[in-house]
Amino acid sequence: MLEIRKFLIGGLLTAALVSGAQAQNQVNIGAIVPSSGPFAEWGRTNTVTLKMLEKQVNDAGGVNGAKLNIIILDDAAKPAQAANNMRKLAGDDKVLAVAGPLTSSACEVTFPIANELKTVATSQASSKPGVAKANRPWAFRNTVDEGILANTSVPYFNKTFGAKSVAIIYDAKDAVSTSIATRIMPAAFTSAGVKVLNGDSPISFNTGDLDVSAQVTKLKSLNPDGIVIGADYSQAVTVLREMKRQGLMKPVIGGTPLISSAILKAAPEIPVIAPATFYATMSTPKAKKFVADLQPLLRSASGLPKDIEPSMYDANIYEIVNMYVDAAKKSGITGKPGDLEADRTKIRDYMANLKGYDGFSGPIHFGEDGDAIKNFFIVEGKNGAWETKVTGCSAAGGGC
């Protein structure tokens, strides 16, 4: 009898230990965001978004019984720091996959490391042409190439404002801003028969400049019908305020980095045209729920404006990590030690073969170049609100 009791107790203890070990399994996913530096607001809102998602997944039972653990590192929008973060996440933290980095400059040096370490990295914001394509098969971007977007935004801009000429101002320190200003927009406007007044010598400033009065004075002297701003929203705000101060009330066009509620408040009288795959006042049920869940968390977070709204890059990184979670669930990944290499390959294969992921703008999949094939919107910001004017698809000939 005593031996039977010992056997039963031993069996229960063994079962409990096994159960406990399973409960302790973690599915680790990494994220690289700029929580400091010039794009700190985006990085901080990304962090709040990821913490919300982590809680949502774990409250719903985790990933195949394992706990989701999102490890978030700050790259300060510095390419070298982003590269080091990628090595740490893949090597020391043994993550399944990485969301980020945010900027194209950081992706250009981090994506090659993702390939070297055979760990998926998917950017939430990079849109400089060809960055993922140059780093296949482990690099992806949940974004649309700025060249594709300009092919829709420029014709709308010309039709709406009757522009016969444009002038360009841009942030020379940012890769995607430089690409928009020196390659993408000049080509798009020239093809549309619109004169680019300073295409050979666009007016430049540097990330972090607080005074662009001299640049805007020069811009004004060109007397353009419209203005191209190649910059992220935080830098574009400085330009817009100076344009208003100098009375340069001309319509503005730019790329996805302009999408922010801050743009709407900088100079509400100046219409701004930009492409987006998400904005906070979208009316779809999925987008409305996301904003309702996230916005209170953002507005209660320290270091963020009290009137802040979820950004397109919050939506993008939320989609990215949800894709990874779906991949893990469908592939039977539980975070069990020893399976990391095989599990990383499962994530890559899932992303490469993804069809019809339910994103905020509609179904998402990835092309052979690693960029998202998804719907996008050409929106106009005027008098404090974004409004969709045109809907497009990033695949040639449709297919979203």
pTM of the model: 0.87
Give the separation between CA 238 and CA 241, rounded to whole angstroms: 5
Between the alpha carbon of residue 139 and those of residues 115, 263, 276, the distances in Å are 7, 30, 21
**Domain coordinates of the chain in residue numbers?**
25-144+282-369, 146-276+379-393
Question: What average pLDDT does this structure show over 340-365?
Answer: 95
pLDDT, position 15: 39
Fold for the domain defined by 146-276+379-393: Rossmann fold (3.40.50)
The C-alpha torsion from 100 through 103 and 109 to 114, rounded to 10°, is 20
For the chain, where are the alpha helices, taking DSSP H only?
A: 2-24, 40-59, 79-87, 104-117, 146-161, 175-179, 185-191, 213-221, 233-245, 261-266, 285-300, 312-331, 340-353
Q: Residues of the chain with pLDDT > 90: what percent?
A: 80
pLDDT, position 23: 45
Say if residue 383's pLDDT is above 90: no
Between the alpha carbon of residue 388 and those of residues 270, 278, 282, the distances in Å are 17, 10, 9
Question: What average pLDDT does this structure show over 353-359?
Answer: 93
pLDDT, position 175: 87
Is there a common fold for 25-144+282-369 and 146-276+379-393? yes
Q: How far is CA 312 from the centre of its chain?
A: 7
Q: 34-58 pLDDT, tens per residue?
A: 999 888 989 999 999 999 999 999 9
Q: Left (φ > 0), alpha (ψ -120 to 50) or beta: where does 51 sit?
A: alpha
What is the three-class DSSP state of 102? coil
Q: 148-178 pLDDT, tens per residue?
A: 999 999 999 999 999 999 999 999 998 889 9
pLDDT tier, 281 (very low <50, low <70, confident <90, very high otherwise): confident
User: Hey, which residues does 205 pair with through a beta bridge?
Assistant: 171
Give the separation between CA 248 and CA 102, rounded to whole angstroms: 32
Say if residue 3's pLDDT is above 90: no
Question: What average pLDDT does this structure show over 350-377?
Answer: 95
Q: 326-345 pLDDT, tens per residue?
A: 999 999 999 888 899 999 99
pLDDT tier, 125 (very low <50, low <70, confident <90, very high otherwise): very high
pLDDT, position 346: 97
Question: What average pLDDT does this structure show over 364-383?
Answer: 93
Q: 182-216 pLDDT, tens per residue?
A: 999 999 999 999 999 999 999 999 988 999 999 99
Q: Mean pLDDT for the chain?
A: 92
pLDDT, position 152: 95
Largest CA distance in the chain: 99
pLDDT tier, 24 (very low <50, low <70, confident <90, very high otherwise): low
Say if residue 262's pLDDT is above 90: no
Tokens of 388: 């969709």
Question: What average pLDDT does this structure show over 352-374?
Answer: 94
pLDDT, position 220: 97
Question: What average pLDDT does this structure show over 16-34?
Answer: 71
The C-alpha torsion from 357 through 359 and 361 to 362, rounded to 10°, is 30
Residue 107 half-sphere exposure, CB side, CA atoms within 13 Å? 35
CATH pick for 25-144+282-369 out of 3.40.50.150, 3.40.50.300, 3.40.50.720, 3.40.50.2300: 3.40.50.2300
Q: How many of the other CB atoms lie within 10 Å of CB of 109?
A: 17
Say if residue 260's pLDDT is above 90: no
Can the peptide bond before residue 79 be classed as cis, meaning omega within 30 degrees of 0?
Answer: no
Which are the contacts of 143, defined by CB distance < 8 A and separation ≥ 6?
123, 124, 125, 126, 127, 256, 277, 316, 371, 372
Q: 84-104 pLDDT, tens per residue?
A: 999 999 999 999 999 999 999
Residues 336 and 342 sit within 8 Å (Cβ to Cβ): no
